[in-house]
């Protein structure tokens, strides 16, 4: 995917250049990043009410609406307390899904991350070759968004499990470098 880069010269002019490099990968688990991600999760709850009404999602359910790509850059926001994931384009909420995050003994990290790697089918190297369909890895330790069992409560070893149909759609619209904000 081509991106525009703006280089500022001493005179303050902007020169546009194209680059094929993906957005830089990052993982911020600082206190400030955790607070920013938690604020984003709180805002997402309000956005859900505005976009979809007072809809209560049961485990394994999601809602998705068409929002043009021109609405802006995509980002994923995860609320661990609500066990929900939100997809945005710019400031417009596109989708909401139930999740299953990490259990207390293997918690899902909180902070600001980005998609580092994507594979339509991956098998865990840590957990008995467990399948991780539509895997999008967000940290160097193997934490990922992927399709999996979604009981509506924390049940994973730290990953964010998504309903299969949602995981597939999310995989199809995100890129390496897509921001992922995980709030408590």
Is residue 117 within 8 Å of residue 100, measured between CB atoms? no
How many structural domains is the chain composed of? 1
Tell me the residue range of the domain where 49 lies.
23-183
**3-56, pLDDT tens digit by residue?**
333 322 233 333 333 333 344 566 789 999 999 999 999 999 999 999 999 989
- Within-domain flag for 7: no
CATH value at residue 35: 2.40.440.10
pTM of the model: 0.85
- Within-domain flag for 56: yes
For CA atoms 175, 176, 177, 180, the dihedral sign is positive
Exposed / middle / buried, residue 168 (Cβ in 10 Å: 0-12, 13-18, 19+): middle
Residue 87 vs residues 7, 17, 46: alpha-carbon distances, Å: 30, 29, 14
- Within-domain flag for 140: yes
């Amino acid at each position: 995917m081509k991106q525009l880069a703006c280089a500022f010269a001493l005179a303050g002019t902007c020169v546009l250049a194209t680059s094929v490099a993906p957005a830089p990968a990052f993982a911020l688990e600082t206190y400030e990043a955790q607070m920013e991600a938690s604020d984003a999760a709180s805002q997402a709850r309000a956005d859900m009410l505005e976009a979809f009404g007072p809809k209560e999602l049961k485990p394994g359910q999601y809602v998705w609406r068409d929002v043009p790509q021109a609405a802006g850059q995509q980002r994923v926001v995860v609320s661990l307390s609500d066990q929900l994931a939100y997809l945005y384009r710019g400031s417009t909420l596109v989708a909401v899904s139930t999740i299953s995050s990490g259990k207390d003994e293997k918690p899902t990290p909180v902070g600001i991350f980005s998609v580092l790697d994507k594979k339509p089918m991956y098998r865990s190297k840590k957990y008995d070759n467990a399948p991780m369909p539509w895997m999008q890895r967000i940290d160097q330790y193997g934490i990922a968004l992927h399709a999996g069992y979604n009981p509506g409560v924390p049940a994973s070893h730290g990953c964010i499990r998504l309903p299969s149909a949602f995981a597939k759609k999310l995989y199809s619209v995100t890129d390496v470098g897509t921001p992922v904000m995980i709030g408590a």
